[in-house]
Structure formats: C-alpha cells, structure tokens
C-alpha cells in the first residue's frame, strides 16, 4: 500500500481528524459492509442476515479491511498486555487482530448475540491455537464480566444500532479507569468515479440506498462523533482513511462491492431501487471489472473512519 498526500481535515468545531487519502495501484480496497465478518447486535435495521454463507462472505472481506483496523487500534492505544472486549465479534476476525496486538500477556473476549457466529469464532480460535481469546453469546453492553477491560473495540457495529450513543455509554462501563473505547465504521458518502463509471456508480448507489431505506445511515463521520458525545464521553479523536484505485488494480474491491450488492438484492428489489435483471448478480463483478479496465477511471471507494476516547 503506497502512501498518498497526508493532511489535516477539520471536521467539526474543536475537532481535528487526521485524514489520509492513499492512492495505490494495488487498490487495497474499501471493503463493502461489515467487512470483518462481524455480526451486528440484534437490530431491526440490520439488513444483511446472519447465515453461514454471509459469515463466510464477510470473513473473506476481512482480509482487505484488516490493515486499516490495525492502524486505528494502534493509534488508539491498544497494546501488549491489555484486556480487550470485542463488540459484535462475529466470526472473530477483529478479536484475532486484537489478540495479535495485546500478545500472550493480554486477553481478548469477543461477544456476539448470534450463537452460530460465536461457535464459528470459537472453532477458529482453537484452530489457530489462540489460548488468550474466548467468545461469549450475548449483548456485550448487557453482559457481566468478572473484571473490567483496558479497551473496548468494535468494527462495523454502531451503524446498525438504533441507539448508538446508548450502546457506547453502556459499553464504557466495562472499562477500567484510563481505558479506551474505539470503533471503526464505514462511510459511503464519498464513493465515486472519474470519469464516470456508470455500472460502478450504480452499484454503489444501490448499496447506499438499500441501507438508507432499511434504516441504516452510512455516514460514519457524523454518526461516530454524535455517538461518543451522546454517550457522555470526551470528544473523540478521529481518523479517516480512503482508498483509491485504477483499472484492473481495483478488481478485488469491485468484487467486494458486487458481493455486497448481491447480499442486499432482496432489499434492493423490495424497495424498488433496481430489478434483479438490472443488478444481474451473476455477472456484476465481471461487468464492474470490464468497465474499470476499458476506461481506467479513478475509483474512489468507501472511507474507513475510527473514533476513540480514553476515560
């Protein structure tokens, strides 16, 4: 991943977030929705389902989002020896990343309300030989633990919550004094292409509109800031990272976007956003790739945004 220009972006009065736009011929991805394999808390607005097939799709996408999450967690202060709670742990990818950061001297507990996801995560931890990672079924904001945590982390969780501030407030109660809470969420407000790539632009529009009509706001920057302040926490530090690619180098991201549109197809049809024939899931990824190669437009993907506060 090659670095592009780095600059300071004032998002809100009194808040400065470091934003890096990184241009790369290898297009490190901007990962569809819930890329880590996480499962949202039971929330009527969550439109992606919890099937094993969906877990596998998200598990695949986790490979692309992992570098951004790792960077955010390190910046937030997750380090060796910490005890960490992973919120909405899904198939375990973020818990495994956190375990790598805290090392053998640390501990990670993942919590998710979906028993199937917890079973898969537990099996994966065993297969990896991770002795410092465990998983529990339940709402992590309501569960009781034997002692507090040094960090509470989550990825692609808050955007699916009806009361994100309320959830953050409850989760902060699990922290010890001086502990940190950090969330990494997606933001689709900047996706675009230039010169315009009609199929890509339509695919992104289908995804964003399906989420919007299902009650999910994909503007992470504003929502994260509101959630932390609404929870009564100190104004968070925030970072944003966006990936840009060109031509065939965007193949992986375009496949992720196509797969997400396929997962959302029932909602896309239900809300009258597009028809099955228009989306044509079987050929969508190839059509996106062909379009990108034919005209080599600049493809701007979703942004990855993190916010964290220390108690």
Is pLDDT at 72 greater than 50 in this prediction?
yes
- Percent of the chain exceeding pLDDT 90 equals 69
C-beta neighbour count of 40 within 10 angstroms: 24
- For residue 219, what pLDDT band results from cuts at 50, 70 and 90? confident
Quote the pLDDT of residue 59: 66
Q: State the DSSP code for 261.
A: H
Averaged confidence pLDDT in the chain:
84
For residues 96 and 98, give the distance between their C-alpha atoms in angstroms, rounded to a whole number: 5
Burial label for 255, CB within 10 Å (0-12, 13-18, 19+), is buried
Would you tell me which CATH number, out of the four given (3.40.50.150, 3.30.930.10, 3.30.499.10, 3.30.43.10), belongs to the domain 16-310?
A: 3.40.50.150
C-beta neighbour count of 107 within 10 angstroms: 19
Cβ neighbours for 9, distance < 8 A, ≥ 6 positions apart = 16, 17, 18, 19, 240
CA distances from 194 to 140, 172, 241, 245, 294 (A): 42, 42, 19, 11, 13
Cβ neighbours for 100, distance < 8 A, ≥ 6 positions apart = none
Domain spans of the chain? 16-310
- For residue 238, what pLDDT band results from cuts at 50, 70 and 90? very high
For residues 9 and 16, give the distance between their C-alpha atoms in angstroms, rounded to a whole number: 6
Quote the pLDDT of residue 52: 58
- For residue 30, what pLDDT band results from cuts at 50, 70 and 90? very low
Is pLDDT at 35 greater than 70 in this prediction?
no
Please state whether the peptide bond connecting residue 195 to the residue before it is cis, i.e. omega within 30 degrees of 0: yes
pLDDT tens digits for range 148-179 = 999 999 999 998 898 999 999 999 999 999 99
**Contact assessment for residue 74 and residue 97, using Cβ atoms and an 8 Å cutoff:** no
Quote the pLDDT of residue 26: 26
- For residue 242, what pLDDT band results from cuts at 50, 70 and 90? confident
């Amino acid at each position: 991943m090659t670095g592009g220009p780095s600059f300071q972006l004032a998002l809100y009065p009194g808040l400065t977030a470091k934003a890096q736009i990184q241009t790369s011929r290898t297009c490190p991805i901007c990962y569809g929705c819930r890329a880590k394999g996480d499962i949202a808390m039971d929330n009527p607005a969550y439109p992606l389902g919890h099937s094993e097939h969906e877990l596998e799709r998200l598990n695949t996408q986790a490979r692309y989002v992992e570098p951004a999450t790792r960077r955010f967690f390190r910046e937030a202060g997750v380090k060796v020896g910490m005890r960490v709670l992973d919120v909405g742990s899904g198939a375990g990818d973020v818990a495994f990343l956190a375990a790598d950061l805290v090392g053998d001297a640390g501990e990670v507990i993942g919590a998710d309300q979906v028993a199937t996801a917890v079973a898969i995560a537990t099996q994966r931890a065993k297969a990896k030989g991770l002795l410092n990672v465990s998983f529990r079924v339940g709402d992590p904001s309501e569960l009781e633990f034997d002692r507090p945590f040094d960090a509470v982390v989550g990825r692609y969780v808050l955007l699916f919550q009806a009361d994100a501030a309320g959830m953050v407030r409850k989760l902060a109660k699990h922290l010890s004094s001086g502990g940190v809470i950090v969330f990494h969420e997606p933001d689709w407000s900047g996706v675009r292409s230039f010169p315009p790539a009609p199929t890509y632009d339509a695919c992104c529009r289908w995804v964003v509109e399906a989420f919007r009509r299902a009650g999910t706001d994909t503007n992470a920057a504003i929502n994260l800031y509101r959630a932390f302040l609404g929870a009564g926490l100190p104004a968070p530090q925030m970072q944003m990272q966006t990936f840009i690619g060109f031509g065939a180098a965007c193949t992986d991201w375009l496949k992720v976007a196509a797969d997400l549109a396929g997962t959302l197809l029932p909602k896309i049809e239900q809300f009258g956003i597009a028809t099955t024939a228009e989306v044509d899931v079987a050929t969508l990824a190839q059509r996106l790739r062909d379009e990108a190669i034919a005209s080599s437009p600049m493809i701007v993907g979703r942004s990855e945004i993190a916010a964290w506060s220390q108690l």
